[in-house]
Amino acid sequence: MEVKIVKKVLDANDTMAEENRKLFRDKNVYVLNIMSSPGSGKTETLVKSLARLEPELKTAVIVGDVCTTNDADRLNVTGTHAVQVNTDEFGGDCHLAAHVIRKAALDLDLESIDLLIVENIGNLVCPAEFDIGEDSRVVLLSVTEGEDKPLKYPVMFKLCSGAAVLNKVDLLPYLDFNIDEAEDNIKSINPDIPVFRISAKTEEGFDDWLSWIKDVVKSK
Ligand SMILES: Nc1nc2c(ncn2[C@@H]2O[C@H](COP(=O)(O)OP(=O)(O)O)[C@@H](O)[C@H]2O)c(=O)[nH]1
Ligand SMILES: [Mg+2]
């Protein structure tokens, strides 16, 4: 019984995701869905990335958290248009579903946007199960989380096939984290995925990471 209900929810989500995909195609908007555990640096990476991309690309962000508008407030300083979604209004969901993205996207001026980034709710399980009509997915892992997380949460690292980002490399001198092992673990699940090593604090590694974003946006 429970299996049937979950399947129905996912089928309904897939239908809405396809409608979103059509809307984004019609408006020529590239959509990137970014996922990670809470605190790995999604917002900080976006704050720094969007400030550098904004002159070239018109961007917007839909950012999800259970509560607060903290992240939208941080992102709006960059010149992007960030819209906060709080899932406590509908039961504290651990992911952003396709219908939630549609409602938020229809409030944006899609005609004038090249790149829409979705910062998903922080966790390494549920968000991967929900297609939102995105063009690609990026998973972020920070060096404080342990090299084994790709092995523990393989579905996330499999379904985020756009790129993987290893963040907070500025902290490596203070940690026992083996970054080569972390990258090998990611590649054991997703052999062809590009892996970027960055620090959102110092912007180390940003040239390659931002080039990748510009290339995928141009490719649509
Ligand atoms: N040292 C260091 N701290 C970072 C870096 N990126 C993010 N942080 C910090 O990590 C914390 C969580 O970052 P945040 O962007 O809110 O993570 P999110 O929950 O994934 O959106 C904040 O205190 C950030 O300042 C980084 O590259 N280096
Ligand atoms: Mg955040």
Instruction: Give me the pLDDT at residue 1, please.
Output: 60
**What's the pLDDT score for residue 17?**
97
CB atoms closer than 10 angstroms to residue 129:
16
Record the pTM.
0.95
Q: How remote is the CA of residue 39 from the centroid of ligand 1, in Å?
A: 6
Domain-located, residue 150: no
Query: What's 95's domain CATH number?
Result: 3.40.50.300
Which ligand 1 atom minimizes the distance to the CA of 198? 27
Tell me whether residue 169 is in a domain: no
Atom of ligand 1 nearest to the CA of 44: 15
Mean pLDDT for the chain overall: 95
Q: Tell me which residue has its CA closest to atom 23 in ligand 1.
A: 39
pLDDT tens readout for residues 21-77:
999 999 999 999 999 999 999 999 999 999 999 889 999 999 999 999 999 999 999
Q: Look at ligand 1, atom 1, and give the residue with the nearest C-alpha.
A: 168
Classify residue 34: in a domain, yes or no. yes
Residue whose tokens read 């390494």: 124
Which residues, in sequence order, are bridge partners of residue 64?
85
Give 159 or 220, the one with higher predicted confidence.
Answer: 159
In a domain, 114, yes or no: yes
- Mean pLDDT across the stretch 86-95? 89
CA proximity to 141, closest of 43, 41, 49, 66: 41
**Domain contains 70:** yes
Which ligand is the nearest neighbour of the Cα of 142? Answer: 1
In a domain, 189, yes or no: no
CA distances to 49, 50, 131 from 211, rounded to whole Å, are 11, 13, 25
Q: Is the pLDDT of residue 96 over 70?
A: yes
For atom 12 of ligand 1, the residue with the nearest CA is: 39
Which-ligand-closest: CA of 168? 1
Whether residue 54 lies inside any domain: the answer is yes
pLDDT digits (tens, 9 = 90+) for 123-162: 999 999 999 999 999 999 999 999 999 999 999 999 999 9
Structural domain that includes position 85: 2-142+205-218
Instruction: State how far the Cα of 171 lies from the Cα of 174, in Å rounded to an integer.
Output: 6
Is residue 165 one of the residues assigned to a domain? no
Number of domains in the chain: 1
